[in-house]
Amino acid sequence: MPVLTSPDIANKFKEKWLAVYPEDQVTGSDSAPMDDSLTSLHWLQNFSILSADPERPNGAGPGCPSSQHQLFLKRLGFPRGGTDSPSSPPAGDTAATGMPPYLGSPVTSGSDSTAAPRFANCAHPGNGYPQIPIQASPPVEVDYKTNPKVKPPYSYASLICMAMQASKQPKVTLSTIYNWITENFCYYRHAEPSWQNSIRHNLSLNKCFKKVPRQKDEPGKGGFWQIDPQYADMFVNGIFKRRRMSANHYNSSSSSGGSSSTHRQSKLVQGYHSTQNGFPYQGVGVKRKHLPSKNNGKAMRASESPLLATEAHKADILRGDFDLASVFDDVLSGSCSTFEDLDINTALSSLGCEMEVSMQGRQHSAGLGRWCGGGDIIGQSQHLNHHQSYSYMELNAASMDCAVNIGELHVPQQQHPQHPQQQQQLDQDQLLQSHHHHLQQFDDPSTLFSEQPDEVVLQPWEEIKEEAQAIPLTLDQGFGLCEGFFTEMQPWERVEAYL
DNA sequence: CAATGTTTACTGGAAG
DNA sequence: CTTCCAGTAAACATTG
């Protein structure tokens, strides 16, 4: 098969797209108003995960505007598509259904199909994931909620994360987590109770989970668990981002971009590394990129997914000292936040690009926002008076990967810049924020690339990524790609940019 | 006593 | 081949 150039693919994609959505023909990329650009990334939602929350036809969740909520749900995007596992109602929802093909099927259950985003419906009729025409992977639908034979492709950390999110509570009990999992994943209803041991093990071992002692006046046994704000950004779309860190990474704290990554790293090292491998025991998310060859002896695990990983490196950002717990809780409790970047990350990741959310210092909020999902960055900004910023982006010529650091939220009132650069960053951010709500500062290239070079996650559109990677890309193209990302683009244009 | 929480050890797959 | 990672099992401690 002939090698297609990025433009070729972009054109093909465009043709396909227009065939399905002629209405999109209209606006030219350049004609789009800047304001639109703020929301233009919505396409990523679709691009990303799939679907909206089936359980919430209106997409309206408590505290969230319907439209925003829809976006949020999509962004939440637990790997699967349409369902709301993560965002879904605490109990009895279809969380387990409609998982992405790899994980399950996104469009699986009828319920979500309706809310399925365009990509799911059109471009990727089969599995609900964006796919390039060339790709043809048969969708495998698995309804985890009712299928007891297939082990969900989510790591325990992800499951915990989903349960926490679904609970809508800032903190949850172990039993709540168990319940959510069993209610949404049939497999666990029938599995040996040993999985609960694993859950506990994960909660204890994974630094991302923080135990909140029960108050004296709070009856009951055991404490509460919550996502440690410091690691909130480890969860992408409700899924744990997993990153493989090399030894140097731990030592790499370098300067530039740094401080944040340094911090984070050190924490990660201290935390997870001390216990297991050097990461806050992240394992969440869809785990491996390959199919679950492993049978576990009990059930076959669907291939892991997707969404996650891509942003593991976001984790490297440092966070400040200010207490974000409140912010986290805030977001978690329903006020929206932003998952926009998540999707972007995911999407870009799948396309060979990576976005990194840099939260240096103030980052917690960003991470939290992501985690909680809800609105988008903008929403969160409003809520917290944050400022987003974008600074620069760099391409790793060697890898030809595009790293885009997005999601840097600033919380001026709370922020306590530890470094002059941070203040500078703030100013810079304010300057740029008006133009790029969704894109944020690109982190230090060294951090972006050297730290998490292999953040590969099975994204729904993984195929696209692979294709894209196969396409010869010049450095210039790479830059163009990133550049294009920040500008208003039509879907096909964006794809072209990515390619 | 059961549920909860912590810790250690080991295994196998995946990635580098 | 080595390292990383997630999962599993199990021992043990704590708590209601």
The gap between A423 CA and B9 C1' (Å) is 47
Q: Which residue is nearest to nucleotide C2 (CA to C1')?
A: A246
In this prediction, residue A219 carries a pLDDT of 83
In this prediction, residue A233 carries a pLDDT of 67
> Residue A342: CB partners within 8 Å, gap ≥ 6?
A48, A75, A76, A77, A236, A237, A307, A311, A370, A373, A407
- Classify residue A208: in a domain, yes or no: yes
Q: How far apart are CA A277 and CA A471, in angstroms?
A: 34
> In this structure, are residues A448 and A260 in contact, taking their beta carbons and an 8 Å threshold?
no
In this prediction, residue A168 carries a pLDDT of 85
The gap between A300 CA and B13 C1' (Å) is 14
Does nucleic acid strand C have an atom less than 7 angstroms from the CB of A216? no
The gap between A219 CA and C16 C1' (Å) is 9
Does nucleic acid strand B have an atom less than 7 angstroms from the CB of A57? no
Report which residue type is found at A31. S
Q: Which residue is nearest to nucleotide B12 (CA to C1')?
A: A294
Per-chain mean pLDDT for chain A:
46
Half-sphere exposure of A474 (CA within 13 A, CB side): 5
Q: How far apart are CA A266 and CA A250, in angstroms?
A: 7
Q: Which residue is nearest to nucleotide C5 (CA to C1')?
A: A283
Does nucleic acid strand B have an atom less than 7 angstroms from the CB of A480? no
In this prediction, residue A229 carries a pLDDT of 76
In this prediction, residue A172 carries a pLDDT of 92
Q: How far apart are CA A5 and CA A93, in angstroms?
A: 43
Q: How confident is the model at residue A152 (pLDDT cuts 50, 70, 90)?
A: confident
Q: How far apart are CA A444 and CA A311, in angstroms?
A: 15
In the predicted structure, residue A66 carries a pLDDT above the cut 80: no
- Classify residue A422: in a domain, yes or no: no
What are the strands of the beta sheet with A224-227, ordered from one edge?
A172-173, A224-227, A209-212
In the predicted structure, residue A364 carries a pLDDT above the cut 60: no
A 10 A CB-CB count for A396 gives: 18
In this prediction, residue A236 carries a pLDDT of 62
In this prediction, residue A148 carries a pLDDT of 81
In this prediction, residue A211 carries a pLDDT of 92
Protein-contacted positions of strand C (CB under 7 Å): 3-11, 15-16
pLDDT digits (tens, 9 = 90+) for A224-260: 999 887 776 666 656 666 555 544 443 433 333 333 3
Closest CA to A401 of A447, A456, A341, A453: A453
* Cα–Cα distance list, A127 to A120, A173, A430, A481, A497 (Å): 7, 34, 40, 27, 24
In the predicted structure, residue A3 carries a pLDDT above the cut 70: no
The gap between A197 CA and C10 C1' (Å) is 10
Contacts 24+ apart (CB under 8 A), A219-225: A220/A173, A222/A173, A222/A174, A222/A175, A223/A173, A224/A171, A224/A172, A224/A173, A225/A160, A225/A164, A225/A171, A225/A172, A225/A173, A225/A174, A225/A177
Residue corresponding to tokens 């204890």: A204
In angstroms, the first-to-last Cα distance of chain A is: 18
Q: How far apart are CA A453 and CA A442, in angstroms?
A: 15
pLDDT digits (tens, 9 = 90+) for A168-217: 888 899 999 999 999 999 899 888 889 999 999 999 998 889 999 888 88
Segment holding A263, helix H or strand E: helix A258-268
Q: How far apart are CA A107 and CA A482, in angstroms?
A: 30
Q: What percent of chain A has pLDDT over 90?
A: 7
In this prediction, residue A228 carries a pLDDT of 81
The pLDDT of A40-56, averaged and rounded, is 32
The gap between A489 CA and B14 C1' (Å) is 36
Q: Which residue is nearest to nucleotide B13 (CA to C1')?
A: A294
Q: How far apart are CA A329 and CA A297, in angstroms?
A: 39
In this prediction, residue A192 carries a pLDDT of 86
- Classify residue A348: in a domain, yes or no: no
- Classify residue A344: in a domain, yes or no: no
In the predicted structure, residue A50 carries a pLDDT above the cut 80: no
- Classify residue A44: in a domain, yes or no: no
In the predicted structure, residue A340 carries a pLDDT above the cut 60: no
Does nucleic acid strand C have an atom less than 7 angstroms from the CB of A385? no
Does nucleic acid strand C have an atom less than 7 angstroms from the CB of A217? no
Q: Which residue is nearest to nucleotide C4 (CA to C1')?
A: A244
Q: How confident is the model at residue A15 (pLDDT cuts 50, 70, 90)?
A: low
The pLDDT of A365-391, averaged and rounded, is 33
Q: Which of A10-24, A169-183, A442-456 has the lowest mean pLDDT?
A: A442-456
The nt closest to A290 (CA vs C1′) is B14
pTM (2 d.p.): 0.44
- Classify residue A492: in a domain, yes or no: no
In this prediction, residue A195 carries a pLDDT of 94
Burial (CB count <10 Å: 0-12, 13-18, 19+), residue A29: middle
In this prediction, residue A179 carries a pLDDT of 93
Domain count along chain A: 1
Q: What percent of chain A has pLDDT over 70?
A: 18
pLDDT digits (tens, 9 = 90+) for A96-136: 443 433 333 333 333 333 222 232 232 333 333 233 333 33
Does nucleic acid strand C have an atom less than 7 angstroms from the CB of A457? no
A22: which 2 tokens?
A: 């002629």
Sign of the alpha-carbon torsion through A154, A160, A165, A167:
positive
Which structural domain range is residue A217 located in? 171-234
In the predicted structure, residue A462 carries a pLDDT above the cut 60: no
Residue corresponding to tokens 């292999």: A454
> In this structure, are residues A284 and A439 in contact, taking their beta carbons and an 8 Å threshold?
no
In this prediction, residue A230 carries a pLDDT of 75
- Classify residue A389: in a domain, yes or no: no
In this prediction, residue A185 carries a pLDDT of 92
> Residue A247: CB partners within 8 Å, gap ≥ 6?
none
The gap between A174 CA and B1 C1' (Å) is 19
Q: How confident is the model at residue A146 (pLDDT cuts 50, 70, 90)?
A: confident
Closest CA to A341 of A219, A436, A213: A436
* CATH number, domain with residue A197: 1.10.10.10
Computed over its alpha carbons, how large is the radius of gyration of chain A?
A: 20
In this prediction, residue A16 carries a pLDDT of 53
- Classify residue A200: in a domain, yes or no: yes
Protein-contacted positions of strand B (CB under 7 Å): 3-10, 12-16
pLDDT digits (tens, 9 = 90+) for A252-311: 333 333 333 333 333 333 333 333 333 344 433 444 433 333 333 334 444 444 333 333
